[in-house]
Each structure stands twice: as structure tokens, then as C-alpha cells.
Structure 1
Amino acid sequence: MKNNTNSAEGIIKSSNDQLMNDEWHHHTGKTDIYVGLKRIDVWTALGWHDIKQRYRRSVLGPFWFTLSTMIMVGVLGFLYSTLLNQKITDYLPYLGIGLIIWQYISTCVNEGCVGFIASAYIVKQIRMPLTVHVARIACRNFIILLHSLPVVIVLMLFFGTYPTAEFLMVFPGLLILFLNSVWISLVLSMLCARYRDVLPIVGNVLQVAFFFTPIMWQKDLLKGREWAADFNPFYHLIELIRAPILGHPIEIESWVYSLILLVVGFVLSQILMIRFRERIPYWL
């Protein structure tokens, strides 16, 4: 018989056995988010398990994602640096960081839409915080993000660009990015569990948002229409990571927008969780 610890169900059942307490098993919509996020050991174990299963028997494993991203960055970098009249040594790192962070955000959003649907068999059988399922999604994609970003930093070193003291601001930026991806996935998981038409709508919105977000182009090119980027939350989330890696200070607007987005997002998540937490298993 297969060892339970080799499956996601085994990890969850093992966690349930170790967490036999009122807080874990008798949570409500009011405490679901708090209890779920607090169990870092559970959703990190599940996220790491997903990574191992996804790239099982693969030589490069998750680095296939990094390799494909770098190929795209190389091709698009040489093309658009010429079209936009940008210096290649500056444009490639700018594009690379933007693409990596965008792929993290878009993957969390797309997978978040089916977060509860994909975990329906667990939701219906085991009493546990639903937030664990979306934190699992954010965690596994965050792991891929963390081993993709260093490749861009190595590329910068190759071009003779070295990190500055601003680089330290990457760490709080990554935390804010991660927490924002959690609440976004949580809200979309609830909406898509109830309304399945939300998934294709979100996919179309992401495709449009990519071209409206300063990833392949820079904000300065808008020439008087910078407000289009200033009101784009994706731009500010990307800048929290990209600016300090490139050695630039993070604009105060990016901090404000990202933190407001974080607070408002979790308040919305809490309201939806309180109202619909007990209905979700019946929607699946």
C-alpha cells in the first residue's frame, strides 16, 4: 500500500492528526483565514509536494519554467529593445523581472479560480480551513518565483550591474506580493465555486491587463498619461520587486497602492468568508 505521506491527502491527514484542537477543526468563517494562514507548516508542505509531483522524473524540474521564461526574455528583449530604442543591458533585466512577477501573479489568479474546485474531494471529506487550499497555490508558485528571480540577478551581474542597498527592500515587497496573491486567489476561488463563468472572464481580463501593464514597455513612454500606470495595481505590485533589484527606490505610490490593496482585499475576503464559508462545499 502506498505511504500516505507521499500524497497530498496523506499530508493533510497527518496534519489533522497532529492538530487535533478546537481551533483547527471547529473554526468558522470568522476565523478561517487566520487559522489557515497561521498553519504555515501545512500549506508549505502541500505546496512543496505539488512541486515535486508536477516535475516528477524531470531532470530540470521547475527550472523548465525558468528556462522557458529566459528564452522568452531573450527573444523579446532583443526585439523590443530595438523597437523601443532601449539599451539592451538595461532593458533585459527590466523585462525579465517584469515577466517573472507577472507570470507569478497570472498563474496564482488562474489557479486560484479553480482552487476550491480542484480540491473539492478534500473540502468535502476533511474539516480544515479553506484558506489552506489557496495558500497552497500561492506557495507553490512562490517557490518557482524564488528560483527564477536569481537568474535575472545573475544576468545583471554579467552585464556589470551590481545590487545596491535598495535591494534589501525586495524582501518586504515579496511578502506583500505573496499576501496579495493569497487574498486574490481566495476571493476568486469562492466566486468561481459559485459562478463558473467567472473563470473565462478572468482569463480574458488578464490577457488585456498584460498589455496595459508596464512590463515590456516603461512608464515614461506614456508621456503625460502616466495615470494609466498609476491606477494599475499590477504595476505597483511588480514595482515593489523590480525597482529595488534594478537599484531604484520604490515610489511611495507603489507602497501606498499595494498596502491599500492588501488591506481592502483581506477585508473583502473576510466578509465573503463569514457569509459563504459553510456554503462552499455544497457549491462544489
Structure 2
Amino acid sequence: MDVAVIEREGGHLSGHSGRNDLLVGLKATRVWGTLGWHDIRQRYRRSIIGPFWFTLSTAIMVVVLGALYSTLLHQEVRSYLPYLAVGLVIWQYMSSIANESCNAFIGSAYLIKQIRIPLTVHVCRIVWRNFAIMLHSLPVVVLLLIAFGRWPTWEFLLVPLGLFLLVLHGVWIGTAFGILCARFRDIPPIIQNLTQVVFFFTPVMWSPEVLKDRGWVAEYNPLYHMIEIVRAPLTGRPIRWESWVWSIALLIVGFAFAQYLMRRTRHRVPYWL
């Protein structure tokens, strides 16, 4: 199925190199879009509610954790549950990107060795798949905001931009991790363990205000700012422009690093698989 889709939609993608792999791959929307949607359909084949299992599981997790941690952290439920819901949804997206990207090229070795297409296509396939799943979980946040009478303000207009930046972050992270993990097979378990540890140092279930004079733990955590560019405008929290600066600056540096790796190693990746 994957080979047939690429041959049908991506026959024009053969003319690329390490210099323009990222650009050509990003433009191949029909290829990675079709492949990513096929992955979702296969994962939930014969399931009654399909990807909406993520919506249900997110709702259960938010209610259970919200009831517990709102008491432990002395937080008002009305504001804490939406805060927690957005944090969990975005964290699940980012952690899935990080972990699945480790096998972005390893898992697609049969395609990479058969058909010459941009390596970025395999990364975008993972990013699109997880972004679509994340969109299935966002209704939980909307329902919580409506239930607690938290209606959107003008800041809500920044949410699409924040989501777009998260997608771009997923591309450079997936490209960098995919290349490094294809070369060094010890990196995937390291990333999986780091993801679990970093979760507790990132304001997902707790807010920086809880730390008081130690709030720098969050301020210098780029993952916090990546979450905040969506969470703040969506939940009506004060917009912190430092988070946008952090996110955009990290995006520029990340793409520069991914481009460097692609130019240096694009021709070697098939031999590492």
C-alpha cells in the first residue's frame, strides 16, 4: 500500500538532494498526507469509534488527574482542568513525535531502499498522523471551557498560529532524531527515558507560579514555551510574548540543525538502515 501510494502520488519527487530535501518533502503534502491518514485508518481498523478513543482517554485522564492534583496543588478546579487538559494534549503530541521519530527512517527502510523520495516525507507522515490525533483530543478542552463558562477572547485567534508552529517543530525534531537514531541505535532508548524524566520538569500538570522564586525551572524550559503558545490563548491566560520568542528562535535553530544533518548525511542514511 505505501509503495503504491508513493508511486501514484510521488513520482515527481526523485529530483532532490540533501540541500533541498526538507523543502521538497514539505511540499509533498499529498504523499505524506495520504500515508499518514492510511496509518490512522489501519491503526483503528474494525474499531467502532476509531481515533476518538484518544478523545475518551484524554477526558478520563483529565478528570482523574484534575481531581487529584487540583487538591494537592491547591488549584481552583474551574481554571485548573482546562490548563491540565491543554498541557496533556500537547505533551502527548510532542512526546509521540520524539519517540516515533526515532524509527522514522528505520521503520521505513523498505521504502527508502526501493524508491528515491525525500526523507522528510517519512517525517511529515509521522507529524501529520500525530497532529490529526491531537486534533481529536482538543474537543475535550473545548467542552471543559464551555462547561466552566470560559468563553474565547481575541487571544483565541493566536491558537492556529501556535498549532502551526508545533507542526513545524515536529518536522525538525523528527528529521534530527530520525537521522541520529538511524546512525546511533543507542539513542532511541535514551530519548524514551529522557521524555519520561523531562515530563516532570515541564509545567504540564503544575504551573510555574507554584514554584515561586524557583520559577526559572520553567522559564528556561523550551518545552514549556512550546506548550504555552497554544495553552495561553486557548484558556484565556495572559499572553507571554517571551514564549513566542522562545518558540520561534528554537524553530530557526532547530531547522538549521536539521538542514545541517540532512546535507551531511542524506546520501548515507540508506546504508545505515
**2:251 paired with 1:262:** yes
* Residue 185 (structure 2) aligns with: 196
Identify which of 81, 92, 102 aligns with 1:103.
Answer: 92
Identify which of 251, 267, 273 aligns with 1:278.
Answer: 267
* Residue 10 (structure 2) aligns with: 16
Asked if 1 retains the 8 angstrom alpha-carbon contact of 2:36 and 2:125, the reply is: yes
| Cα deviation 1:28-79 (Å, max 9, x = unaligned) | 1001001000111211111111111111110111111221121111111000
CA distance in 2 between partners of 1:236 and 1:193 (Å): 29
* Residue 161 (structure 1) aligns with: 150
When structure 1 is superposed on structure 2, of 272-281 and 218-227 the one drifting more is 218-227
Question: TM-score scaled by structure 2?
Answer: 0.98
Mapping 1:110-259, distance limit 5 Å: 110-259=99-248
| Cα deviation 1:77-98 (Å, max 9, x = unaligned) | 0001111111111111110110
CA distance in 2 between partners of 1:68 and 1:147 (Å): 11
* Residue 3 (structure 1) aligns with: none
CA distance in 2 between partners of 1:61 and 1:10 (Å): 24
SS state at 1:196 partner:
coil
SS state at 1:160 partner:
coil
Q: Which runs of 5+ in 1 are unaligned?
A: 1-6
CA distance in 1 between partners of 2:94 and 2:210 (Å): 24
Asked if 2 retains the 8 angstrom alpha-carbon contact of 1:29 and 1:274, the reply is: yes
Residue 46 of structure 2 aligns with an amino acid whose one-letter code is R
CA distance in 1 between partners of 2:239 and 2:127 (Å): 24
User: Identity of aligned pairs, percent?
Assistant: 58
Question: TM-score scaled by structure 1?
Answer: 0.94
Q: Which runs of 5+ in 2 are unaligned?
A: none
Residue 155 of structure 1 aligns with an amino acid whose one-letter code is L
CA shift for structure 1 position 26: 2.3
Aligned length: 273
Asked if 1 retains the 8 angstrom alpha-carbon contact of 2:172 and 2:255, the reply is: yes
SS state at 1:26 partner:
coil
RMSD: 0.9
Asked if 2 retains the 8 angstrom alpha-carbon contact of 1:166 and 1:248, the reply is: no
CA distance in 1 between partners of 2:185 and 2:109 (Å): 14
Runs of 4+ more than 3 Å apart:
none
When structure 1 is superposed on structure 2, of 127-136 and 63-72 the one drifting more is 63-72
SS state at 1:59 partner:
coil
| Cα deviation 1:157-213 (Å, max 9, x = unaligned) | 011111111101001100101100110011000000000100011011111110000
Asked if 1 retains the 8 angstrom alpha-carbon contact of 2:55 and 2:139, the reply is: no
Residue 266 of structure 1 aligns with an amino acid whose one-letter code is F
CA distance in 1 between partners of 2:174 and 2:165 (Å): 14
CA distance in 2 between partners of 1:101 and 1:197 (Å): 26
Residue 80 of structure 1 aligns with an amino acid whose one-letter code is Y
Identify which of 20, 31, 44 aligns with 1:55.
Answer: 44
